[in-house]
Structure 1
Amino acid sequence: MTSVRLPQPLAHLHSLPPYVPGRPPTAPVGVTPYKLSSNENPYPPLPGVLEAAERALATMNRYPDMGSVALYRALADRLGVVPEQLSVGTGSSAVLFQLLSAYCGPGDEVVMPWRSFEAYPIAITVPGATPVPVPLTADARHDLAAMAAAVTERTKVVLLCTPNNPTGPALSATEVEEFLDAVPERVLVVVDEAYLEFVRAEDPVDGIALVGRRRNVAVVRTFSKAYGLAGLRVGYLASTPEIAGAVRLVALPFGVSSVAQAAAVASLEAEDALRERVDTLVAERDRLVAGLAERGWRVPDAQGNFVWFGVGERTAEIAAAAEAVGLSVRAFAGEGVRVTVGEPEANARLLEVLGRLAP
């Protein structure tokens, strides 16, 4: 009997690590659950955004503007660049996948910090490239010297995540400039600024300024976090026209919906409300970190909208204790727990739980 050979996916896809999304919360009867596992903004859309999205819904029978003209124009005006320097996609994750597909293939290497954003090794492996993880320092920061040393002739891209997800510390502008000086210009350095609005550190990175000075830098940002559009998926890249153009070439046609485009443009117009909301979340973050310190818990420098507990083998214990009181958190088995800064009640409940556990 002749054996039947069925269709097979590319062999290297079997090595893809799974992406584990944040779990929805469960809670005892009478207890309000809170989802602190996905770094979502706990507040509703900014003023004017819901109305813009509803207007766009009226034309859902039509394809969205594939050129995202209004969104490109609004972003270009806000960032002080030209539209040709931009590429939009369904979240910064999608833009990153597009960039790596455009610049990497089998035999190429991508240097990345680790632990960092969970999608990085997946996005690198899909086009057949090889992830080169560089361990973080003891204080959960990028080891930029080690990352520079990891660059070889096979390196096509380096990923920097600031603030680093899931650990929290942000890179400084001086650190990044020195790193860029140490890396060959043929290597594309991607600065992932998904949480830049929450940074309050001294000497913060200005990704757009870097793009203006460096021909091998790309910045990726998102509307999912500070802008509160996680359910609509809008992200963008800013770089040179050549790099942005290559990323647009591999973008999914009509990927960003009409509703998402309209909501993103309206969000950019609500700058004052955005700043007020971010300041509120930063104040909650600082209150949470201070409360943790009072209870003996020390966390890495939190510059995003989340905190990191590098508790190693206690990860399951901490996650279970939070789950028992209706708080879903993001557990990385054997490494630690990331907790989103949520509503004041959710943060207070987390402090109560951790106050009962010894650090």
Structure 2
Amino acid sequence: MVSARPAVAAMPAYRPGRNPADLAREIGVERAVKLASNEVAFPPLPAVLQAIATTAAETNRYPDNGATVLTAALAERYGVQPAQVAVGCGAVTVCQQLAQAYNDPGTSIAFAWRSFEMYPLLAQVAGARTQQVPLVPGSPGAAPDTHDLPALAAAIDGTTRLVFVCNPNNPTGTAVRRAELERFLDEVPAATLVVLDEAYREFVTDPDVPDGVELMRGRPNVAVLRTFSKAWGLAGLRVGYLLAEDPAVADAVRRTHVPFSVSTLAQAAAVAALASEDEVRARCAAVVAERARLTAELRRRGLAVADSQANFVWLPLGERTTDVAAALEARAVITRPFAGEGLRVTVGTPEEDDVFLGALDEVLTSEPAGAAGT
């Protein structure tokens, strides 16, 4: 019998957000609301649709393996050289390329926990160990939701090849500030690569949450990871990218790239999206305004919701998480539970969020007295 590597056989399957049409059919309703996957609710940008339509006639040919036009556009936007840019099939694939490029068995990857759920899986595939550093409360008496950068720095040892800092953090939405992040980067050994995972950067409004590209400059062991899947509205086309101060880092990522994995349509769409940045910024502003409203409504219901810098909010429900998520699904609302910890809720349209709040009110009123604020 042919068997997979033990590390692969033991891996849990990644669980994407549930399809709302499937849930609607299952429970016999006309429509379900999906607030689980941190997608933006807006349709694709007009320029993106035009670029896809124009490029569709070229799909009998392989894509540009080097994503030359997109790489040049990203280099111009961020003020770097094309050699400092690596493009991949979504940011998570770039994460996997990083693990393949820098980790051998016996090495390790360090990150906060809870954070992006793929980090430990990527280490497992690479045969590397994980160094998971628990989150700490961002405010006195709150649930753990914030990076403990001093502890993360202390966890780094001679085996640590990669450190991921998810800022803002997924799934808690919290972010670390400039001074503490600069101190952390200055402490990390030169032989360890720090990847600032900024998938939600476009939704940041706190001026003290730094732009990772600024902190990257002058630090050859720092790289920045971003994506077109969130603010740019291209989740279905899969385009992520890495910016590296040291071109050798981007080169290592490109060497582990699966050929032709960023499609012709995806490349054209990303270039068109970059050219529509004003529209993207307006959409992000609308998401931020709705985030503030949703946060205020949740707090009005007695829920301890931290300030989010992303396009989702985090409800630290502890042991109630799974039950609340199931009860919401029974009411045609899909959220993202992390068992025993909390519920991540994507900021949707005002109408979608009102549906969620109404369902949540029903769930909370059916719970034992005093449970809502825990």
Q: TM-score, normalised by structure 2?
A: 0.92
Q: In the alignment, what sits opposite 1:37?
A: 36
Q: CA deviation at 1:189?
A: 0.4
Q: In the alignment, what sits opposite 2:258?
A: 252
Deviations 1:9-36 (A, max 9, x none): 2232233233111112324555532111
Where does the alignment leave 5 or more consecutive residues of structure 1 unmatched?
A: 1-5
Q: CA deviation at 1:353?
A: 2.8
In terms of mean alpha carbon deviation, does 227-236 or 8-17 score higher? 8-17
Q: In the alignment, what sits opposite 2:141?
A: none
Where does the alignment leave 5 or more consecutive residues of structure 2 unmatched?
A: 139-144, 365-371
Q: CA deviation at 1:330?
A: 0.7
What is the alpha-carbon distance in structure 1 between the residues aligned to residue 219 and residue 360 of structure 2?
Answer: 45
Inter-CA distance 17–112: structure 2 relative to 1 (3 Å threshold) = farther
Cα pair 2:333 2:359 within 8 Å, conserved:
no
Structure 1's consecutive aligned runs of 4 or more residues displaced over 6 angstroms after TM superposition are none
Q: CA deviation at 1:74?
A: 0.7
Q: In the alignment, what sits opposite 2:3?
A: 8
Task: Tell me the number of residue pairs that the alignment of Structure 1 and Structure 2 aligns.
Answer: 354
Query: What aligned pairs does 1:1-359 form with structure 2 within 5 A after superposition?
Result: 6-25=1-20, 26-27=23-24, 29=28, 31-139=30-138, 140-239=145-244, 240-356=246-362, 357=364, 358-359=372-373
Which structure is higher in RCO with an 8 Å CA cutoff and minimum separation 6? 1
Cα pair 1:92 1:234 within 8 Å, conserved:
yes
What is the alpha-carbon distance in structure 1 between the residues aligned to residue 180 and residue 30 of structure 2?
Answer: 45
Give the superposed CA RMSD: 1.3
Cα pair 1:16 1:121 within 8 Å, conserved:
no
Q: Aligned partner of 2:50: which letter?
A: E
Q: CA deviation at 1:297?
A: 1.1
SS in 2 for 1:276: helix
Cα pair 2:88 2:261 within 8 Å, conserved:
yes
What is the alpha-carbon distance in structure 2 between the residues aligned to residue 30 and residue 244 of structure 1?
Answer: 48
Q: TM-score, normalised by structure 1?
A: 0.96
Q: CA deviation at 1:150?
A: 0.5
Q: In the alignment, what sits opposite 1:3?
A: none
Deviations 1:122-145 (A, max 9, x none): 111111111111110023000111
Deviations 1:78-125 (A, max 9, x none): 111111001000000000100110000100011111011111111111
What is the alpha-carbon distance in structure 2 between the residues aligned to residue 254 and residue 352 of structure 1?
Answer: 45
Cα pair 1:112 1:159 within 8 Å, conserved:
yes
In terms of mean alpha carbon deviation, does 251-260 or 13-22 score higher? 13-22
